[in-house]
């Protein structure tokens, strides 16, 4: 990622469990990566993988967890330890740093709904 991109630190958790998460502005290449990312585990997936897929896609209206993981460099294990309020805090900063990306995703969702 370029040094010119925007970044911000969000602290989530409390006390000894507090963690600093760096949220970044996406480059155009990263925006494409996020759009192309398909977390579908496949028809023969284990129930745990299907539940992970469902939460990934439906926890938030306007962002999948896999999208957020790119913006904040969070792996699956770290995401699993975060609470909903932690994720909302990270998501708010991601939206602040990536308004064009979220606007584009909203327009694409509107087109899919009207089709």
Q: Is residue 1 part of a domain?
A: no
Q: Is residue 50 part of a domain?
A: yes
Tokens of 67: 């999208």
Alpha-helical runs (H) found in the chain: 28-36, 47-58, 65-72, 76-81, 84-97, 99-114
Global pTM? 0.87
Give the pLDDT score at 5. Answer: 66
Mean pLDDT over 5-25 rounds to: 94
Q: Is residue 40 part of a domain?
A: yes
Tokens of 32: 């494409």
Query: From CA 82, how far away is CA 42, in angstroms rounded?
Result: 26
Q: Is residue 18 part of a domain?
A: yes
The domain of 27 spans 7-114
Query: From CA 6, how far away is CA 75, in angstroms rounded?
Result: 20
- Report the mean per-residue pLDDT for the chain: 92
Q: Is residue 2 part of a domain?
A: no
Q: Is residue 31 part of a domain?
A: yes
**Number of domains forming the structure of the chain:** 1
């Amino acid at each position: 990622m370029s040094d010119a991109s925007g970044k911000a630190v969000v602290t989530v958790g409390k006390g000894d469990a507090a963690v600093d998460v760096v949220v970044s502005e996406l480059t155009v290449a990263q925006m494409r990566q996020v759009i192309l990312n398909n977390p579908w585990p496949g028809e023969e997936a284990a129930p745990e993988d299907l539940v992970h897929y469902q939460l990934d896609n439906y926890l938030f209206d306007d962002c999948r967890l896999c999208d957020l993981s790119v913006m904040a460099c969070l792996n699956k294990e770290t995401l699993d330890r975060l609470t909903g309020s932690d994720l909302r805090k990270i998501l708010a900063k991601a939206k602040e740093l990536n308004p064009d990306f979220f606007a584009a995703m909203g327009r694409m969702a509107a087109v899919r709904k009207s089709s």
